[in-house]
Structure 1
Amino acid sequence: MADELELLRRANPVPSDDSRFGEGPLGQEAERRLDHLMARAGDERRPGRSRFLPGRTRLGPRPRRTRLVWALATTAVVAVTATALLLAGPSTTPAVAAPHPLVVRADSAPVPLDRLAGRAERDAEDGSPRLRKGTHVQTWSMGMSEDKPPITLPVERVVRWNADDSQTELVVATDPRHPGRPVLTDEEGGPRLVDDGQVLSEQTFPPSWSDAPPQSPPPHDATRLRDYLQEAQNIDTPLTTHELLDAAGVLLNTWTLGARENAALARLLADAKGLRSVGQVTDRLGRHGQAYVYDGTGYRRMLVMDPVNGAVLGLESTVTVDQPEWGVEAGDVVDYNAWIR
């Protein structure tokens, strides 16, 4: 695998110091968008075929402007392939770690999102904890192809920014036998591996001087945060609720929000249309949260928020219609993010 990665690096058509690509490494959301973009390119060559939700609204919005470092993107594709190999032996079928959809507790009472936003605003009065650049996130993403069953790839990622504005990123494949078990801890000043993880990549990136969202610090009032997220998504029109959820994921994959930013995001979500409160869930890291659901055409998204301070804990996407040509059934989880403070 090392030889293939080295060939990819040498084939990079854009130098890493090119001014057009000075915004840092390809982020998790950008990788997902690139995957959708590549799928659409393949669909144009095969009329009538779609890699995801054929004939229906896709889970991610069509990007208006794409700025990608293609060598890093290609390396990410190789890393996904490596994950599948790491999770399965050479003579076995790929290990499947597909999680079941989160289940709402039948005896729990829904908490209106407006009330939760009020809690977040009260919690933010002392301004603690403060905003911190960097993220710690555990994800489950379904990989699909036409000739193989879908597999879910569990990955944990820690990004830390240094005093000189450089950043380090550690990506680990989690053990599919224990979905939801954290593989990385961040004790005593840095991430530490535990036994059931395989390192996919460990990289240090040079400083990024971009002052555009999401690299610039997010504001801590809802009106300005809405504009910030719209710019981060390169969308010229007001964000739909679906686009707002995507934008929240981009934000949380770049920053660990402080109390005031949590409150602003909670208020912004409370003002969004179509998010309905459904009750309490226990997320895949064992945390209790309040769940809010947004229903689209052919998919459902569940937002999980801390019932005490209104922080976003997770975001789950499931399909609601069978797609037999891809081996996907209604209720399958295709994407899940759990953010860890």
Structure 2
Amino acid sequence: MTAPIEVTGSELEARPDAVLGGARKIEGRSLGQIALMRLRRDKLAMTGGIVVVVLILVAIFAPFLSDWFGHPPSEFHQDMIDPNLQRPLHGPWHSGISGKFLLGVEPTNGRDIFSRIVYGARISLLIAFLATLMSVVIGTILGMIAGYFGGWVDTLIARAMDVFLAFPLLLFAIALGGVVQGKAFGLSGNGLRIALLVFIIGFFNWAYIGRIIRGQTLSLREREFVDAARAMGARAPYILFRELLPNLIAPILVYSTLLIPTNILFEAALSYLGVGVSEPTPTWGGMLSQAVPIYSVDPWFMVVPGLAIFVTVLAFNLFGDGLRDALDPRAR
């Protein structure tokens, strides 16, 4: 007969909780919580996200920032300009930087660069966000329809994507911006310009995200949950928007964050070429265009808007890359 095994106090304390008195409840993490945890570990992505949030806040509160730390963006300060050299009188590198003008003043007219930068952020982000929203909506709907139905529908939409991808968008934007002047579609002035830029950038860029969504839909339509929905008698609109769309949220978010900086650069390029938002409304591309002829006199005037575009695009790209890695670990 085997002698009973004596258990000491130290061994009893070392035993798992499941043996001692019932297992502790372990809470599982959702996919969103896991993605958020991965995103938090990515320092570059978090830095980019913080910069993006700051830029959005700057754009929203541009009038208050201009009142608190600067001057009205279209107000001239000729007393800050050397009448002979047509450059700011004071500040390092003849930039006009001082306690009243945090980023200096524009040469030839003395407008506050800080106020024009924060107002330029409002224009750039507004156009980029609206154009991205238009591209995402059109591309997602057409991509899902092409991927789900297949056949001649897929062929027709896929060939349309090829046409839009091959379209000379920049030349078209320059031509259309030069033709549409004054008043059209019930709009005039910069309201017309902004609407025109949103339409050009948003409508002609949907093919990029549409091709991605089409590929994802081709994979998802063969999954078991889609077959189960069909077997239960679900119609195509229900399957598209209630079954497929929730599974496409991750790639939509990722490629939206990567499409926004592209749209910001495109808007800046059009403003630089003179077919974007017109003066006196400040834009980063317009400020660069004004700075080129006088670069040798006042190089600082080109540095500030150039840095604003660079930091904005870099922040969105870092955040988009981190978001992609967090939502799809296989992409690492």
What interval of TM-score do these two structures reach, taking the shorter chain for normalisation?
A: under 0.3
Q: Max radius of gyration: which structure? A: 2
TM-score normalised over the length of structure 1 = 0.21
In terms of fraction of residues, the more strand-rich structure is: 1
TM-score normalised over the length of structure 2 = 0.21
In terms of fraction of residues, the more helix-rich structure is: 2
